[in-house]
Each structure stands twice: as C-alpha cells, then as structure tokens.
Amino acid sequence: MRPLVTLTTDFGLQDAYVAAMKGVMLSIEPTLRLVDITHLVAPQDVMEAAFLLSQAVPHFPAGTVHLSVVDPGVGTARRPLAARLGDQLFVGPDNGVLALLLEDEDPDALVVLDQPTYWRIPTPSATFHGRDIFGPVAAHLASGRRLDEVGTPTDTYQQLHWALPLADDEGIQGWVVHIDRYGNCITNIPRTLLERDPRSRQAKYYVGAVILDRLSHTYADVPSGEPLALIGSSHHLEVSVNEGHAATLLSIHKGSPVNLVYGDD
Amino acid sequence: MRPLVTLTTDFGLQDAYVAAMKGVMLSIEPTLRLVDITHLVAPQDVMEAAFLLSQAVPHFPAGTVHLSVVDPGVGTARRPLAARLGDQLFVGPDNGVLALLLEDEDPDALVVLDQPTYWRIPTPSATFHGRDIFGPVAAHLASGRRLDEVGTPTDTYQQLHWALPLADDEGIQGWVVHIDRYGNCITNIPRTLLERDPRSRQAKYYVGAVILDRLSHTYADVPSGEPLALIGSSHHLEVSVNEGHAATLLSIHKGSPVNLVYGDD
Amino acid sequence: MRPLVTLTTDFGLQDAYVAAMKGVMLSIEPTLRLVDITHLVAPQDVMEAAFLLSQAVPHFPAGTVHLSVVDPGVGTARRPLAARLGDQLFVGPDNGVLALLLEDEDPDALVVLDQPTYWRIPTPSATFHGRDIFGPVAAHLASGRRLDEVGTPTDTYQQLHWALPLADDEGIQGWVVHIDRYGNCITNIPRTLLERDPRSRQAKYYVGAVILDRLSHTYADVPSGEPLALIGSSHHLEVSVNEGHAATLLSIHKGSPVNLVYGDD
C-alpha cells in the first residue's frame, strides 16, 4: 500500500499552516505520500477550489484521498464530511465543493465526521479544523480506515445553486471562476451544457471587452494575438488569446460575466 | 526508519537554491522525506523564521530534524549549530532562532558543527552554507548520526534580547512579527507573559489605527468586521478582524508596535 | 531502486497543472520521489529554465530524471526529446534548454519521443504535453525503461545561438537571464569565458546604472551597500550589492545588457 493524499487549501505559502497539517498527518501515518494541488486558492473561494480539484482528480490513482480545506464556515455549525466518488476519496468541510465536483451525480458514499477518535484532539480549535479534523481523518482514510469508521452516513450536502450557470432557450449566462498563470479565463460553463445545443458553435460570446462569434476547436484556429473561446483541458468554456494573456488584454477578471447568445441560425 | 526533515528558509520559490539543497540531502540519504515549512520567510528575518518554526514543530513526530536556514551572517564567524529539544532536532546557523524557540529553557544537547566529514565539501562556499553544511548535516542526523558525531558540544548560543517584548508593572510593549495570508497580525508577546498578570484581560491594546479594550477568547466575541485581540493558535497575542483582513483594515505592518497598558482596575 | 524525478516548469503555483502531471506520473510509478526545482520560470523563458536547471542538476544523485517543461512551441512541430548527460537523464521539448545545459559538449544519448505506448494517451492534448507526453515518459524512465525504448535515436537538437554571449578581442557582451530573490543578477556569461582572458579581472563592467572596474572574489571585497561583479555559485558572472538588492539599487532588469570591456592593461 502506498497511501496518497492530495492537498488543496487557501492557506497560502508564507505561513506554517500547511506544514502543521502535514506534521499531524505524518504523525498518524508515516508512509503517507503528500502531493500539493495548490495552497493559493483565493481565500474562501469554494468555486475556485472545486474547479482546481476537478482538473487534478481524474489523473490520480485509485484510492487517492483528496483533502480540500477552503472553509469560510470554520467555527460555525457547517458539518465536516468525507465521501467516495468512484475510486477516489474526498475529505473537507460541507461548503459546496462536493456538489460542484459531483455536478448532477450522487456520491457513492458520504459520511459526517463525528468520530473524534480520528481527530487530532477531541475538542478541536475553533479556527483550524484542517489541522485538527480534516487532515487527521484524511491520514486515517489513506492508511486504510473505512468511511463508516470515521463517520456516520448521511444523504445531504450543501448545494451551490448560485454557482451554476443559467441556461434557457436563448443562451447561457455564466462567469469566470479562475484565471490561470497564462491569463486563460476559465468559466463555470461545462462542456456538457455547451454540447446540449448545437447552436453553441455559432453563438455570440460576450465577455470582457470582446464579442466572439464562434466556439473554436484549438488555439491555432485564430492568428497570434487574437481572442478565442474554446473548451479547454478543464472541460469548461475558456476564453483565451493565442500566444497572449487574455485576462489582461480583454479586461477580464475573476467573476466577470460570460454571456452566450444563440443566433437566429 | 522513516527519516523526516522539515525545511524553513528565506530562499524563495523562484530560484533553484532549495532544490540544490534537497539534491545534496537526497544524495546522502535517499530515503529522506522532506516537508517544506516555508521558503518565503522575509529575507534575513530570523524572528519570522522562529515564529513559523514554533507553529509547526509541535505537530511533527519524534525524531524529526528541522532545518532552518535564514542566515544574515553567512560568510562571517557566526557558528553552525545543531541541537536537540525534547524529541526534535534542529540544524541551522547560530542566529538567534534557537533562543527564540527555547524561550527560557535550555536545549537538551547543543553542538557546533565542526566535522567537515559530514559537509558537502570540506571548504564550503562563502555564500551557500545551506547546501554545503546545514543540509548535509540534517541529512546525516536524519539517517541516524548522533549529535556528538557531527559536532562538538557547546553551552553558548546567540541570544536575541532585542527580540523579546518589554514588560513592567504598567504594561507590555511588543511588536508584530508576522502577518499571515488572512491578514492576522501575530506579535512577539507570548501567552505566558499575558497570563502572568490578570489585568491583561481588561487592558488597553494600542496597535495600528485601533485601541482595543480587552483580550477576546474567540473571533465570535465580536461582530463581523470588528477588530479583536486574542491568543491565537500560535500561543502569541494576535490582532485580527472577524471575517476581515486586519493588517489592511487597521494599517498594521510587520514591525508595528503593540502596546498593552493595564488599567486602574 | 528509489526513482527520483525533478520538475522545472513555467506552470506557476496557483493552478492544478503541476498536480495533474504528478498524478499521471504517480499512476505510472507509485514509488516515484518528486522534487520541485521551480514552477515559477517566467512564462516561456527557456534561458531562465536552463539556468535554473544547471544550478540544481549537479547536486542530484546518479540516475535522477530531470523533467523540464517550458514549452512555447507546444502544438507545433517541435519534437519531444529525452537525453542522457553523464549519469543524469533529461526529458522535455526540443526548445534549446538542452543546448544551453550542454554548452559545447554532446549528449551521451539522445532520442525523439515517438513511442505513444509510454504516453498518457496516444493522441495527446494540443496544449498540455507535460501531462500527456513528458511527465509519463519521465516516470517510465525513472522506473527503469531505457532511452531506446521510449524513443528513437537522433543527432540533432535545437541550438540557441542568440542566447550565447558575444566575445571578441575587446570584450564580452551578454545579458541578465535571472534575478534571484535577494536581487542578485545572474548573466549568461560563463566562468569559462571570463577565465579565457586574464584581462577580465581588471576590465570595466557596464551594467544598469553602474560601471564596475574589476571582478571581485567575494561579497566581502566591497563595503556593505557597494556593488560588485563576481562569479557566483552558478558559475556565471553575477552582479550583486553587498547586503543589498542589486536589481533595485542598480536599475537592472531581466534582459539588461552587460558589457565587459578590456582595458589597455
């Protein structure tokens, strides 16, 4: 067994929070292999955390535990959860990330973490559940504990209806959830929604300072320096500039609206 | 044996310095497990390094070696040290970090690193003792060498009297040593000093643009957006804003003074 | 066997690209040990990638695989390569990094990666060869595959003549390829070129806002706050300020020219 745990947080890299959590986890299971996804999620931005997780998760081996701690509700009554989706495990606060990862599916198993035996201490700090609950439970799961040992089954989890794009017969409205290092602007509009209506290919895309009149297949569909809309490696609509920094060039920010309007055909 | 070494430096993340040091360490002991605490300590800021280390160290398993290379004195006569504090080992320059970690205690063992056998090369570079002395010695200690093999016992180490807060019968004067990603302002005033005088609970706290009139227990003691002083997970006085970025909102910087004045009761 | 792979990319740290690549690699070879060199290479800056790699590579154990993905030509006809240089292996796009690492030598073995068996999928994405080709091949090489299994021998690789300094009987012209966290300015002028003409020691060095009139041996050759030119731990000409941030103080940027003019002796 080679237990693998990924970590996605908004803890940043200039503090000792990530290391404290890793120390606790390695004290529980010394053979853990830890892979950082990112610790630079914008503070408390659960949509960005969900998007980044969804990009990485498909590439990890069966049995990987994905620890995600972006926790605007720490210290409130929001529940700590663990879930199994296919052959991957997830641990984190009930903040909506799970719903965004699942899209319309259901988790294969879902538990509320209510067994302090698997926490660092029975009375966790009010501000650092990553170190005191989520990290320890992830380490125990990676070392072979079952979901029904670390928690009690539940059926409910936080939905994030506001985070989903709106779609009707005239088009789709979504927004930019992440801007990557190259300036590509990734939206909350999934491939599945775009492919539901063939008019998407020739629709008008209003975003930032530009109106695009088609969905491109690859960067090379447009000349260098020109903007385009395409379905990226994230399986979501992305707005990019061929060999350029789209966010800067097109005045797009995180949260910028993206409006897709079907033409008259 | 699963040798574990943590790394705390001011080397940054855009250079190859950390990787060069890790390469040397893995050449010595291929089974090493390396955990970064942070490499973003402000350049040459030994107080920040000590604070971040003190947050992480209690969470690591017995036998962990903590390598700390913030080294304003590299190339001068400052001595290279290794120490044992309880069941943890420390390696780094004699720059005061050790004194700050120990507070008023003594190390359980302390040696000057004077055995070039355990260095990368007998004549280390003038500018990179992390790669040439401290990293290699940490790897050797993690792989089972004893302190008295890698160095010679000593009793003295750099004190940092200026780094300690001043306390008298009227109050305490300290300052902000670290601002975390969420804007919380951590000071050099330890819990022990605050608890020595019960008047701390009702004192006036002067810091940045605000005067606080009590020591709070948790964030929830004040409404959202309001400032508070509390003893944080670091066991030091912290100044925060509930659901806000204290450093920005209260005009607090690293180095900002914090004055605690006892009232007339 | 303890397979070790280093990673050098321009992917940044706020995205999931590095983690996706690591997930693919760990799915191929679960015992891999991964060491980040840096993911903060300036986007598409192959010279900086080559410089950073050249600093780290000499310190890694024999058999280490160095994965370098800075890939301005992704999606074009540039070839994917793997090479052996002494006891180290390299994997990456044919973008000139290899030529810069080799200086005037030849690789001990060089192959074009044309065996999709060792890729993630036979038809890789147009934009993410790190995840789909280079990462998987690096994992296979680290797990024991031979170069002639993953590719077909070739003799040619991209040269970067423009990236080399110009030298004639009157002096040397180069430029700054990297500025480190402390503000030291590292140039593309190697030690070997400087040592070829003894007049280098007393030449005039024109760089940014300053003219230096000698090559120093160590920082301590000049008073605190004064600029100097020296051969750094990178074995290249560096311009620094003793206890200061040279780039800021001397108005030096990445790409700033450095002119060395021999005197009349």
B37 domain-assigned: yes
Burial class of residue B5, CB neighbours in 10 A (0-12, 13-18, 19+)? buried
What pLDDT score was predicted for residue A265? 54
Radius of gyration over alpha carbons of chain C, in Å? 20
C158 domain-assigned: no
pLDDT over threshold 80, residue C183: yes
**Nearest CB partner across the interface for A181, out of C20, C22, C43:** C43
C118 domain-assigned: yes
What pLDDT score was predicted for residue A217? 86
What pLDDT score was predicted for residue C69? 96
A120 domain-assigned: yes
Residues A170 and A240 in one domain: yes
Residues B89-132: tens digit of each pLDDT: 999 999 988 888 887 788 999 999 999 999 999 999 878 899 99
Residues A119-152: tens digit of each pLDDT: 999 999 878 899 999 999 999 999 999 999 999 9
pLDDT over threshold 80, residue A261: yes
Q: Residue C56 has which token pair?
A: 């780290």
- If you count residue pairs, one on A and one on B, with CB atoms under 8 Å apart, how many are there? 74
What pLDDT score was predicted for residue C179? 95
φ, ψ of residue C246 to 5 degrees: the values are -60, -45
Residues A145 and A207 in one domain: no
Q: What angle do CA C257, C261, C265 make, to 5 degrees?
A: 165
Residues A87 and A139 in one domain: yes
The count of domains in chain C is: 2
What pLDDT score was predicted for residue A1? 59
Closest to A177 (Cα-Cα) out of C11, C16, B13, C44: C16
What pLDDT score was predicted for residue A264? 65
Domain C-terminal end among A126, A153, A180:
A153
Residues C194 and C124 in one domain: no
Chain center to CA of A104? 15
Range B200-213 average pLDDT? 93
Domain C-terminal end among A94, A119, A153:
A153
The enclosing domain of B16 has a CATH number of: 3.40.50.10790
Residues A79 and A148 in one domain: yes
A159 domain-assigned: no
C232·B127 Cβ contact <8 A: yes
Range C30-39 average pLDDT? 97
Chain B positions touching A77 (Cβ under 8 A) are none
Higher pLDDT, C162 or A19: A19
What pLDDT score was predicted for residue A100? 85
What is the reported pTM? Answer: 0.94
Residues A13 and A137 in one domain: yes
Residues C149 and C177 in one domain: no
C239, HSE (Cβ side, Cα atoms, 13 Å): 36
Higher pLDDT, B221 or A113: A113
Residues C88 and C117 in one domain: yes
Residues C124 and C170 in one domain: no
What pLDDT score was predicted for residue A102? 82
Range A78-100 average pLDDT? 93
What pLDDT score was predicted for residue B126? 78
Chain B positions touching C55 (Cβ under 8 A) are 15-17, 20
Is any Cβ of chain B less than 8 angstroms from the Cβ of C232? yes
- Per the structure, the complete domain to which residue A61 belongs is given by 4-153
Q: How far apart are CA C63 and CA B220, in angstroms?
A: 55
Contacts of A248 (CB under 8 A, 6+ apart): A183
Residues C46-66: tens digit of each pLDDT: 999 999 998 999 999 999 999
What pLDDT score was predicted for residue C264? 66
pLDDT over threshold 90, residue C39: yes
A128·B53 Cβ contact <8 A: no
Residues C217 and C189 in one domain: yes
Chain B positions touching A125 (Cβ under 8 A) are 233
Residues A149-175: tens digit of each pLDDT: 999 999 999 988 888 899 999 999 999
A37 domain-assigned: yes
Contacts of B236 (CB under 8 A, 6+ apart): B51, B186, B187, B188, B189, B190, B191
Q: Residue B183 has which token pair?
A: 């804007």
What pLDDT score was predicted for residue C160? 84
B219·A126 Cβ contact <8 A: yes
Is any Cβ of chain A less than 8 angstroms from the Cβ of C35? no
C143 domain-assigned: yes
Residues B27 and B147 in one domain: yes
Chain A positions touching B219 (Cβ under 8 A) are 75, 126-127
pLDDT over threshold 80, residue C265: no
Q: Which residue has the tokens 């109050």?
A: B171
Range B216-242 average pLDDT? 89
Contacts of C166 (CB under 8 A, 6+ apart): C172, C173, C174
Measuring CA to CA, how many Å separate A167 from each of A96, A118, B55, C70? 21, 43, 48, 38
A248 domain-assigned: yes
Domain C-terminal end among A103, A120, A153:
A153
The whole-angstrom distance between B39's CA and the closest CA on chain C is 11
Q: Which of C54, C217, C233, C240 to probe by mutation at the B interface, max B CB count within 10 Å?
A: C233
Range C21-45 average pLDDT? 96
What pLDDT score was predicted for residue C106? 87
Taking phi first (over 0 means left), then psi (-120 to 50 degrees means alpha), and beta for anything else, what does residue B264 get?
alpha
Chain C positions touching A53 (Cβ under 8 A) are 16
What pLDDT score was predicted for residue A223? 92
The enclosing domain of A209 has a CATH number of: 2.40.30.90
**Nearest CB partner across the interface for A56, out of C12, C19, C30:** C19
Is any Cβ of chain B less than 8 angstroms from the Cβ of C224? no
Residues A172-220: tens digit of each pLDDT: 999 999 999 999 999 999 999 999 999 999 999 999 989 999 999 888 7
Residues B113 and B184 in one domain: no
